[in-house]
Amino acid sequence: MSTLTTCSPASSTQGRRIEYITPRANLHHDGDGYTLELEMPGVAKDGVEITVEDGKLTLTGRRAEDQSFGRPVYRERSQNEYRRVFDLDPSIDTDKITASMSQGLLTVRLQKSEAVKPRKITVA
Amino acid sequence: MSIIRYRNPELATWSPYDRLSSLRDLLDSAFQLASNAPGNPESWAPALDIFEDEEKVTVRVELAGVKKEDFDISLQDDVLTISGERKAETEQRGSESFRSERYFGSFTRSVTLPSPVKADAVTAAYQDGVLTVTLPKAEEAKPRKIQVNLE
């Protein structure tokens, strides 16, 4: 069975190369589909963009403009955008993809199309 | 007033081990990195930033997916500690895991603040998985403007 496999984070097409952060991801599979979780701390609901094109699922997260907190004394956090691309399993019904964002955790539910869901057929 | 032997301050602080201590710090940080490497689910440490202006110190910590009630903030002297636990939510029975990169479990992160703060005026906000702790500076740490009259 083909699964959701990662592609490398795509770079910008404008020639100018943008460095993206690859968000940490967890992926669970059950009979009905997949649940994908991505960590995007600092990204609000309206900063998330999810697109499906050519069998690829692209997830982008943009941070809201950080207000100024003063002079940085010590920094570990990157300000770059989050981006990750997955190859979609053809069994996924792309019309039924749903997503929610809660405290920087993006959860995407990918349902399998009815035709491929496991079915129990009772013999009459 | 006690009498102490005069020591050249530059000479007094120099020790033959000083050069080694930076090497030791480097090694310590390498081991720290190794212990946080993927595959070690025992501990993780959230990334943080520290900012400072004339009025306050601001510490911002990335806690994506941690619930508000699952972490604690404490301040002792000039050390701020954020500790808590990230709990797995969607892990259901009967589902298989295809990819597991996120860290779960308890974490602790302590930082020494760059200047003294008013402990009773500390506030915190948690939004979009980022914790922002605002620590107003103690009066003695604020820069003062002294008017000098020129005659």
Examine residue B118 and state whether it is found in any structural domain, yes or no.
yes
Expressed as residue numbers, the domain containing B110 is: 43-89+101-140
Q: How open is the CA angle A22-A25-A28, to the nearest 5 degrees?
A: 155
Q: For residue A31, list chain B residues with Cβ-Cβ distance below 8 A.
A: 94
Q: Which amino acid does the sequence have at A83?
A: R
Chain-chain contact of B102 with A39 (C-beta, under 8 angstroms):
yes
Collapsing DSSP to helix, strand or coil, B47 comes out as coil
Q: Which of A1, A2, A26 to mutate to test the interface with B (most CBs of B within 10 A)?
A: A26
What ipTM does the predicted assembly reach?
0.80
**Average pLDDT value for residue range B39-66:** 87
Q: Which amino acid does the sequence have at B67?
A: K
Shortest Cα–Cα distance, B42 to chain A (Å): 17
Q: What is the CATH number of the domain that holds B108?
A: 2.60.40.790
Examine residue B59 and state whether it is found in any structural domain, yes or no.
yes
Find the length of chain A: 124
Chain-chain contact of A77 with B92 (C-beta, under 8 angstroms):
no
pLDDT 10s digits, A102-113? 999 999 999 998
CATH number for A25-67+77-112 (one of 2.60.40.790, 3.40.366.10, 3.40.190.10, 1.10.3720.10): it is: 2.60.40.790
**pLDDT level of residue B31 (50, 70, 90 thresholds):** low
Examine residue B65 and state whether it is found in any structural domain, yes or no.
yes
Q: Which amino acid does the sequence have at B65?
A: G
**Average pLDDT value for residue range A46-68:** 89
pLDDT 10s digits, B107-131? 999 999 999 999 999 999 999 999 9
Collapsing DSSP to helix, strand or coil, A71 comes out as strand
Which pLDDT score, from 0 to 100, does residue A12 have? Answer: 45
Examine residue B32 and state whether it is found in any structural domain, yes or no.
no
Q: For residue B115, list chain A residues with Cβ-Cβ distance below 8 A.
A: none
Shortest Cα–Cα distance, B29 to chain A (Å): 14
Q: With an 8 Å Cβ cutoff, is A71 touching chain B?
A: yes
Examine residue B120 and state whether it is found in any structural domain, yes or no.
yes
Place of tokens 């900012």: B51
How distant, in Å, are the alpha carbons of A26, A85, A101, B39 from that of A49?
Answer: 18, 12, 11, 30
Give the distance, in angstroms, between the CA of residue B83 and the centroid of all CA atoms in the same chain.
11
Beta carbons within 8 Å of B111's beta carbon, 6+ residues apart: A74, B48, B50, B59, B79, B80
Examine residue B147 and state whether it is found in any structural domain, yes or no.
no
According to DSSP, residue B116 is labeled: -
Q: Widest CA span of chain A, in angstroms?
A: 75
Q: Which amino acid does the sequence have at B39?
A: G
Overall number of domains in chain B? 1
Examine residue B2 and state whether it is found in any structural domain, yes or no.
no
pLDDT 10s digits, B74-113? 999 889 999 999 988 755 566 788 888 898 889 999 999 9
Examine residue B115 and state whether it is found in any structural domain, yes or no.
yes
Q: Rounded distance, CA A19 to CA A21, Å?
A: 7
Chain-chain contact of B98 with A28 (C-beta, under 8 angstroms):
yes
Lookup: tokens for A61: 């997260």
CA atoms within 13 A on the CB side of A8: 4
Q: With an 8 Å Cβ cutoff, is A46 touching chain B?
A: no
Instruction: Give the start-to-end residue ranges of the domains of chain A.
Output: 25-67+77-112
